[in-house]
Amino acid sequence: MNNNSNNRFSTGVDGLDEVLMGGLLPGHTYLLRGGPGTGKTTLGLQFLAAGVSQGEKALYITLEESEASLRKNASRLGLNVEGVEFLDLSPDPEYFSKVESYDIFSPAEVERSPATSAITEAVERIKPARVFIDPLTQFRYLSTDVFQFRKQVLSFLRFLSQQGATVLFSSESSPSLPDEDLQFMADGIIKLDLDEYGRTLTVQKHRGSDFVAGSHCVRLDIGGITVYPKLVPAAYGLKFSPLILSSGLPELDKMLCGGLEHGTVTFISGPSGVGKSTLGMQFIQQAASQGERSVLFSFDEEVGILMRRCESVGIKASEMVEKGMLKLEKIGPLRFTPDEFARWVRREVEEQQTRVVMLDSVSGYRLSMRGRDLVAQLHALTKYLQNMGVVVLLAVEIAHLTGDFRVTDYDISYLADNIVFLRYLEIDGQMKKAIGVLKKRLSDFEKTLREFETTQNGIQIGHPLVNLRGILTGTPSWVHNQPNP
C-alpha cells in the first residue's frame, strides 16, 4: 500500500487530511454521516479515486444507487473513477414486478446469503485497500431486529478490516431510525451538514488520532468537495525580527514613535471618505521600498478605482503591482466563507512570504460572514497573522461623520495593538481632517492631533493642533480665539 509518510491514507479531499491530522488510519472504519445532498457519495468517490491514483485497489459497494448512475455523476464532477471496482447490490428495474428480497447475513450463514457471497467474493478477488459502502444503513431494512443488525454489521466491518481494507461507510439516519449504533461501531465519524449559511464538515471521532475540532466550511463544486479547515491561531507561529515599518512620513512616524511593529494589528479608524485606504497604502508603499510584499483585500472598492485614487495622490500602486510587491484583491459580498478567506490569507503569507496584510474594510469583511460571528472570525485571523509576524492593517469605518468619538461600531477594539484615527473637523466654516494616535501597545506615542490632508503630492500632515479644544466632538474651537500656529 502506498501510504503517506505518517502511514495514513489520504482522503483525497483537499483540506480534510489537515483536519484529520494527516488522514485516515489504515485498517480502521469510518462513518460518514449527513442528510440528503450533503455530499456523502462525492466524498466517498474522492476517497476511492485517491487510492487508485496511488496504485491501490478500491471497491465501491453500492446498496442504493446504480453503478451507471454513480459513474455518470462522477464524470460530471470531473472525478476519475476509471480504476474503481463497483459491486452493485442496488435493486434492479425488475424488482418492482417480481417478488424478491435481499437476504442479510449472520456470521453463521455467510455462505448462504447471495449478498454476502457477492461481497465476500469481490473482497477476496480484488483485495481492496479502500472500501466505500453506500449506505450501510440499507442493511437495517433487511435484518429481523436491531440486535441482529448490530451483530451482522460488526461482523461485516471486522471481515473487511481483517482483509486489510480501510473502510468508509455512509449512513442515512432519521428520527425513527437513528444511527447511534453505527457511531459506536466506527473508529471515526465525519459529519456533513447543509444549512442556510452553507456546507460544513465536523469530525466527531477519530480513534487513535487527534483532529481539528469544530465546524469547517465545505465547498462542493466541479472537482468534488473541498474542506476549509477552521483557523486555529495557536497551531501557527514564525520566528521573526521585531522590525518596525515606517510610514515614510516624518510627522506620522514621530506620532507613532517610529512606525508599526511587525506582528501587530493596527486599526485605521474613521468615517467614510476620510482617507483610511490611502493611509494604509502609504504604509504599503513604504513596505515595498524595503522589499516587503503586501496584499490588500478590498471588500468595498473596486481595484481599478483604488489604484487610480492612489496614483492621484502620488502612491505608485500600479508600479508596486507590476514589480510583484503588492497584490490587490476585490472580495465581493458573500463570495467566500470565513474559513475560505482565511485559507486564502494563509497561502499569501506562507507561500508568497507576504509581510503586510490590509483588510479594507471591517464592515465589508462582515458581509462575507454569512451570519457568522464577526468577532470570533476576525480574532482568529488577526491572531494568526500576528503569530506569523505580519503587519496587519484594518480599515475600520465609523458610521457617523461627527459627534461623540468612537473607534469602531463593533466590539473588536481589544484586537488592536495600535489605533490610528482620522476625524472630520469643521473650523471657521471649512471642512478639515485630523489624525491622531489613540493606542500603541509596544511603545509610547504622541498625544496631540495633527491636521491631515491628501494632495496630488501625497499625504500631508501638519503641526500639532495644540490651540484647539473639543476636536473629538467634530466641532472644535480655538483657545482664546487664537489661531493655531
pLDDT in tens, 414-459: 999 999 999 888 777 778 898 999 999 999 999 988 999 999 989 9
Residue 172 shares a structural domain with residue 248 = no
Same domain, 220 and 245: no
Same-domain check for residues 403 and 257:
yes
pLDDT at position 476: 65
Task: Please give the pLDDT value at position 107.
Answer: 40
Reading the block at residue 129, the C-alpha cell is 485497500
pTM: 0.82
Please indicate, yes or no, whether residues 305 and 160 belong to a single structural domain of this protein: no
Computed over its alpha carbons, how large is the radius of gyration of the chain? Answer: 30
Q: Which domain holds residue 32?
A: 16-230
Q: CA-CA distances (angstroms) from residue 229 to 19, 22, 128, 256, 408? A: 6, 13, 29, 37, 29
Identify the segments of the chain with pLDDT beneath 50: 1-5, 95-96, 99-112
Same domain, 225 and 272: no
- 63 and 117 belong to one structural domain: yes
Domain with 375 in it: what CATH number?
3.40.50.300
For residue 133, being part of any structural domain is answered with yes
Is the same domain home to 260 and 307?
yes
CB burial readout 361-394, b (16+ within 10 A) else e:
bbbbbbebbeebebeebbbbbbbbbbbbbbbbbb
11 is a domain residue: no
Residue 109's pLDDT is 46
Q: 276 and 221 in one domain?
A: no
Count the domains in the chain: 2
Query: Is 8 part of a structural domain of the chain?
Result: no
CA 92 to chain CA centroid, nearest Å: 42
Is 176 in the same domain as 294? no
The pLDDT assigned to 480 comes to 57
